Amino acid sequence: MSSKEKPTLGGTRIKTRKRNIAAPLDPSAFADAVVQIYLDNAGDLELVARSIESSDLNFSRYGDTFFEVVFAGGRTQPGTLKPDEGECHPYSIIECEAKRDAILLSVIYIQKILRRRPFLIKNLENVMRRLLQSLELFEENERKKLAIFTALAFSQKLSGLPPETVFQPLLKDNLVAKGLVLSFMTDFFKDYLVDNSLDDLISLLKRGKIEDDLLQFFPSTKRSAEGFSEHFTKAGLVPLVEYNEKKIFEVKLKEMKSALTTQIVEESDMSEVIETVKQRVKDAKLPDIEVIRILWDVIMDAVQWSGKNQQQNANSALRQVKTWAKLLNSFCTSGNIELELIYKVQMQCYEDAKLMKLFPEIVRSLYDQDVLAEDTILHWFRKGNNPKGRQTFVKALEPFVNWLEEAEEEE
């Protein structure tokens, strides 16, 4: 049986590779087209937004260029804020009035653009970052406009603009040293607080990772609590000053508590502990009532609650009170402070089941160690105004109070 070969075509097939032919970048033409839309609509941002929405411009490719036109009126030269060759328009954010109402129109306009093209939020971040890193290239009035725009952008929740990408670029050493950042943030705070509460501002700063140290906006030679208070009080931002003072106060309390805890756990010499507390109180200007609260917390936190039964835990707590009674006595310098100590004991015994039945024994121990005076205890018994567990504690303390009154009558 013969076999026939299949016929083949002569010659050689040449395989060709398909190539993606990229269109050349032409940001200048894009910028000119956007500028022309502004000019054709005489800067009416409502009409400009409509024209842009219906245009076929390549925003995905030239998003940064678009926001350069929005902020500066035209395409800017790399590394500067100077307009590049090409058309410009006079309706930019930098050219408008330094007033909230005027700049709010631009914020609303950008919001409309971002709703149709949400991917442009990254381009807005890029351009704002470059602008804020270049504050020294702006005039004072132009920096104020940027601060107002930034405040309004966050007030209007501009399509999820992340605060960390806006605030972090401001922390360049040269900008801080020249006072430009402090001036910018002062204008920002004032405008943001027009529509928002202080809590909103603090929350925003936390998300921007700058809330922990607001002094970082100040030039290094002016970084002090006094400088902070003076500057922002003069700027009319008293709530911010009060917030910062409270924060500083809380930090000092925390530092004192930490140092004291270490000394008590290590059972340092009593005189050394007392001297340490006195020095910290003096340096931090802590009120006596806060000091006695901290002392009690630290002393009780150091109790070893390892007893197998309630009595062992009670003995541990009472032993701790007796050991550090001299420390408490050094700072119970008035009847009001003694009364505050009783309230502190009352609250802890009310909140901690292990201590609920210990209230009268603790008070008796503090009396025996001369920490609490008889008059203070009787005042709390008759007129104490803290209702937490009061009825129970008054009843439990009644035998001791009766003993005090009987001893007083005998004397």
- The values of phi and psi at residue 83, to 5°, are -65, 140
Give me the pLDDT at residue 317, please.
Answer: 86
Give me the pLDDT at residue 4, please.
Answer: 54
Single-letter amino acid, residue 319: R
Give me the pLDDT at residue 10, please.
Answer: 52
Q: What tokens appear for 405 in the block? A: 């009154």
Give me the pLDDT at residue 304, please.
Answer: 77
- CB-CB neighbours of 380 under 10 Å: 25
CATH code given to domain 291-410: 1.25.40.180
Q: Which residues pair with 83 in a beta bridge?
A: 76
Helix, coil or strand: residue 217: helix
* Domain residue ranges of the chain, discontinuous segments joined by +: 27-223, 238-286, 291-410
Inter-residue contact 303 to 317 (CB < 8 Å): yes
Q: Tell me how far CA of residue 139 lies from CA of 130, 184, 271, in angstroms.
A: 16, 12, 60
Give me the pLDDT at residue 19, please.
Answer: 46
Buried b (16+ CB within 10 A) or exposed e, 172-210: beebbeeebbbbbbbbbbbbbbeeeeeeebeebbeebeb
Q: What tokens appear for 360 in the block? A: 């009268």
d(C-alpha 191, C-alpha 100), whole Å: 8
Give me the pLDDT at residue 21, please.
Answer: 40
d(C-alpha 54, C-alpha 373), whole Å: 83
DSSP string, 9-57: --S-PPP------PPPP-HHHHHHHHHHHHHHTTT-HHHHHHHHHH---
d(C-alpha 66, C-alpha 374), whole Å: 78
Query: How big is the chain, counted in residues?
Result: 411
Give me the pLDDT at residue 3, please.
Answer: 52
Q: 34 Cβ partners below 8 Å, 6+ apart?
A: 52, 57, 65, 66, 69
Q: 243 Cβ partners below 8 Å, 6+ apart?
A: 198, 202
d(C-alpha 55, C-alpha 285), whole Å: 65
Tens place of pLDDT for every residue, the chain, 411 residues? 455 555 554 555 555 454 444 444 588 899 999 999 999 999 999 999 999 988 889 999 999 999 999 999 998 876 566 666 677 899 999 999 999 999 999 999 999 999 999 999 999 999 999 999 999 989 999 999 999 999 999 999 887 788 888 888 888 999 999 999 999 999 999 999 999 999 999 999 999 888 878 899 999 999 998 999 999 999 999 999 999 998 888 888 888 888 898 998 888 899 999 998 998 888 888 888 889 999 999 999 888 776 567 778 788 888 999 999 999 999 999 999 999 999 999 999 999 888 888 999 999 999 999 999 999 999 999 998 889 999 999 999 999 999 988 866 555
Give me the pLDDT at residue 210, please.
Answer: 86
Helix, coil or strand: residue 83: strand
Give me the pLDDT at residue 406, please.
Answer: 82
